[in-house]
Structure 1
């Protein structure tokens, strides 16, 4: 089954930011931080809504497993990644998001913790949980841990994250769901994603690969946990709640809020997206270090990470219902101080978003997905990924320049220990 591109299904905002606009002249730092909180709430609300749609699609699929219903739920998963990936810019600088994020988006994972894997499965050395196979077993022994996993619940799945002390033991989140829907991608750097049969969820004689009822129980519980987690985070950014993180952020100094914004943008651009999500995979020619590795949706995840950075800089967000949020922005603050710098910084943001978009074009128009681009010997593909890394590095320099113009010094975005 070919999964339709999330980019193709989404309307992308293209903003024309007028030089010397009245808005830029009047905007205050506090207004920009308030707009940041507004965008965060809108993004997490969309992530929640699309996760609820995914949860409902999973229920429909498990009630009547078929090729069609499996295709429907895969599409719901792809759609759910669109807002969530735009939320990651709020991780860095906001500890409440970063501390919470691992339960939803941790990767790479040793998928043998969850379900059956190929006989030549490569996993983290020394990780006893890597072949535990929760679906096939009602009791597990991992190191000194004796675990009763007979009843699979959202709480059990949450408790199993990093079991045995290994970060590769990821039991929950988008990638656990992705693995259960697609199965392993056994194509290496050749074309193709995972090909799990829908019959892995058919209860009765047509069940393939055994334990179909427990596999369905796991899928249902992990989707429920995802929704619960997103419900909590949506409330943290809601203007209708009191005593939440949004209130704390807006009651702090505007300069501290701006630092969080700029640090988040720079750290996602440099250490995380350019480094962990692209450089690591490219240098090792490793599909195991690919982000959405089971579904081959990595190009979209990278694109929407970049879109999230762009959203924060421009004070804008395109909601999944097609409506648009626009307001006071970092760009306006920079233009207020130095119009020439604002124009040059905006130009770099536009160029980088276009460059990351070439990964989507490669996947959707040329059938060269990220796992093929990073293959050893794919000179053209390697060059495309490397050019994208370099553009993200240049964008980070523009983020630091923007910070300097508006008086936020010593930004030091996280490099994740990568050298560029």
Structure 2
């Protein structure tokens, strides 16, 4: 079953509603505990994302203060590490929660993609491209936020992928990531490209903004916060939100927008983390995020585990056979994601039959996972209001 567009909009806008016990389903008493456990996992994973973003920001400051191969490598390594916990939070999207509510959700400021390199900095064939090379653009946080996606969704000026591009540059290589030199940040003698100072200032501002936006989302999920309290006080509606995030991330977003679209085009510009060639990890950690929610546990950066009553346990009380099938399917998706080979742009390259097959197998598994999650939606007698 494919996610029809009206249905997707209804789900992501939380058109799901629940029936009372007198209409059929008696909700398991464990639902409330599972919702509380989910909230604890969400808070912990955003806390880790914030901690890694702070480490990245410090490495960026070191790079800008003293550009070298070493400080650039350190900043790149910190960016790669920062993606590991954040990607596991993407399953908390698609129900207008703190990350993507239409009023002030910062998701588009944190993880928007694909990025038009020409909008931000120089590109091959145009040394003066981008807001960095436009002296008329005043560089500050408010300006960058206002310019993000201004005039087009690819006009990205903030977030993880803006930092990624500023660290790696364009990926013009078939078998490796971008190769921006550290000298792009050297002001004066030895510097390459123009406006090295503005480039460093932009990188510093963008990595700093990530702390603001991640902090905003983390605070909404902190114990005692108003959003979290309301979320836990309405377990049936919140359980529907949890399932919505799992459904949309599994099929439409990861299986469709990120995998199938890039496989169909065979173009590295369509891969999720094209500058760093980190897309294979994006797929693994997105699936792992779904597994975290399903199993009600998250392994923190320090190796400790946050755990509670799982979504799986609640589903087992209502539809045990379906729970077993879904459990196997999620684990299959993770196995297939881990089988992807780096760099991902070679997996999707036309003519790479084995690589294409690995990507397609993951797409098929994620679509099957999506279908089983829809069956869970139905088993809990959740209905979807289709917009007129």
Q: Same fold (TM over 0.5)?
A: yes
SS in 2 for 1:402: helix
Q: Which has the higher contact order (CA 8 A, sep 6+)?
A: 2
SS in 2 for 1:317: strand
Q: Does 1:184 align with 2:170?
A: yes
Deviation at 1:265, TM superposition (A): 0.2
**Contact 1:315 1:328 survives alignment (8 Å):** yes
Deviations 1:287-331 (A, max 9, x none): 111100000000001111111111111101111111111110111
SS of corresponding position for 2:191: coil
1:213: which partner in 2?
197
Q: 2:292, 2:94 → 1: CA distance?
A: 15
Match of 1:138 in 2: 135
Query: Which residue is 2:328 aligned to?
Result: 347
Could you say which residue in structure 2 is the equivalent of 1:372? 346
Aligned position for 1:116 = 122
- Where do 1:5-404 residues align within 5 Å? 28-98=30-100, 99-119=105-125, 132-139=129-136, 149-150=137-138, 152-163=139-150, 165-187=151-173, 190-241=174-225, 243=226, 245-252=227-234, 254-359=235-340, 362-363=341-342, 369-404=343-378
> 2:302 and 2:142 mapped to 1: Cα distance?
32
- Find the aligned partners of 1:412 and 1:373 in 2 and give their Cα distance: 39
- Equivalent residue, structure 2, for 1:142: none
> How far, CA to CA, are the matches of 1:412 and 1:347 in structure 2?
30
SS in 1 for 2:298: strand
The one-character-per-residue Cα deviations of 1:166-222 (angstroms, maximum 9, x if unpaired) are: 1111000000000000000012xx211100000111111111112111110000000
Structure 1 unaligned blocks of 5 or more: 1-25, 122-130, 140-148, 364-368, 414-420
How far 1:34 moved relative to its partner? 0.9
Shift of 1:343: 2.3
> Structure 1 segments of 4 or more deviating over 6 A?
none
Distance 1:155 1:217 in 2: 14
Instruction: Give the aligned CA root-mean-square deviation in angstroms.
Output: 1.9
The answer on whether the counterparts of 1:62 and 1:201 sit within 8 Å (CA) in structure 2 is: yes
Q: Is the 8 A contact 2:287 2:330 kept in 1?
A: no
1:247-281 CA distance string (max 9 Å, x none): 221233x2111110111001000000000001111
CA contact (8 A) 2:258 2:271 kept: yes
What's 2:22 paired with? none
CA distance in structure 2 between the partners assigned to 1:237 and 1:211 by the alignment:
40
Partner residue in 2 for 1:17: none
1:391-412 alpha-carbon deviations (Å, 9 max, x no partner)? 001111222233334x143469
Aligned to 1:325, what secondary structure does the other structure show? strand
Could you tell me how far apart the structure 2 residues matched to 1:348 and 1:246 are?
A: 30
Aligned mates of 1:58, 1:76 — CA distance in 2: 9
Query: Aligned pair in 2 of structure 1 residues 58, 296: CA closer, same or farther (>3 Å)?
Result: same
| 8 Å CA contact 1:263, 1:411 repeated in 2 | no
Conserved 8 A contact 2:141-2:206:
yes
- Normalising by the residue count of structure 2, what TM-score does the alignment of the two structures yield? 0.88
Displacement after TM superposition at 1:106 (Å): 0.5
Q: Distance in 1 between matches of 2:338 and 2:208?
A: 32
Gaps of 5+ in 2: 1-27
Q: Are the aligned partners of 2:72 and 2:167 in contact in 1 as well (CA < 8 Å)?
A: yes
In structure 2, what is the Cα distance between the partners aligned to 1:346 and 1:27?
21
